[in-house]
Amino acid sequence: MLCQKSFELIKQLDSNFSNAHELSPFNEDNVRYTFEECKTLFAQNQIDVQPVLQGDNSNLPTIQMRHAALQRNKRCLLTYVYTRMNWVASLRFELATVVAPKHIKANMSDLEVVWFQKYSKTLANYMKSLSQATQTNSGYIYPIDLTQYTKPPKSLFIHVRCLKDYGEFELSDGHTVSLVKDSQHYLLASDVQDLIKQGILEHID
């Protein structure tokens, strides 16, 4: 059946993102198969289009159907990479880390890994340029991190509890705290919200 493999890619996306928030392994086999199918369809169409150019229309429906299949494959493939790309980009904001966690990285294709690095770099450059625009007359640069404060903060300091051993953690004022499992701290929200996102600390009231 035409376009079966490319549709499987879409089905895979659908089941992944609606049920669990995780990336499935990049389906290299189906992508390659679809490429081959496209090449074959295109080559066959090129042969069949010759009589049509000379005024013989008997091949027209076949060409139409192959063309539709090509378009369909294109749409499925593009949607597959596009949706995954958006998901990978959201990682940077969700986890506030420039290194994707191992279990996610294992499911990314090589190109996606490279793309994520480039995206992080571009975003960092952008944030740097924003920061520089805030430079006051006295020369102070206010650092802007777009991944911070995705929710409006209620208070500057918050109580947190460690969920796992993390080790020494340097705060923005230069002090260090040691984050040991089950210890509780009262820290600046801006310092610790990345660790909360990553599931190392828990925000308690």
Q: Which residues bind other proteins (CB under 8 A)?
A: 1-3, 7, 10-11, 13-14, 17, 20-22, 44, 48, 58-62, 64-65, 67-69, 71-72, 75-76, 78-79, 82-83, 91, 94-95, 101, 103-104, 151-154, 158, 189, 193, 196-199, 202-203, 205
Spell 124-133 as b/e; 16+ CB within 10 A means b: eeebeeeeee
Closer CB to other proteins, 109 or 148, in the complex? 148
Least separation in angstroms between residue 184's CB and other proteins is 15
CB of 22 to other proteins, least distance (A): 6
Written as six digits, the tokens of 142 are 């206010």
Question: Kindly report the CA angle at 118 between 111 and 112, in degrees rounded to 5?
Answer: 20
Here the tokens at position 77 are 């493939």
Least distance between other proteins and beta carbon 135 (Å): 30
DSSP 3-state of 145: coil
Q: Which is nearer to other proteins, 2 or 124 (CB)?
A: 2
Angle, in degrees to the nearest 10, between helices 4-19 and 60-95:
30
Smallest gap from residue 193 Cβ to other proteins (A): 6
Given the complex with other proteins, which of 39 and 128 has the nearer CB atom? 39
| Residue whose CB is less far from other proteins, 94 or 145 | 94
Q: Which is nearer to other proteins, 52 or 130 (CB)?
A: 52
Residue 22 or 36: the one with the smaller Cβ distance to other proteins is: 22
Residues 148/190, Cβ–Cβ less than 8 Å: yes
The nearest distance, CB 38 to other proteins, in angstroms, is 15
Rg (CA), the chain: 25
Closest separation in Å from C-beta 137 to other proteins: 35
How many whole angstroms separate alpha carbon 84 and alpha carbon 108?
A: 9
Cα gap 127→120, rounded to integer Å: 10
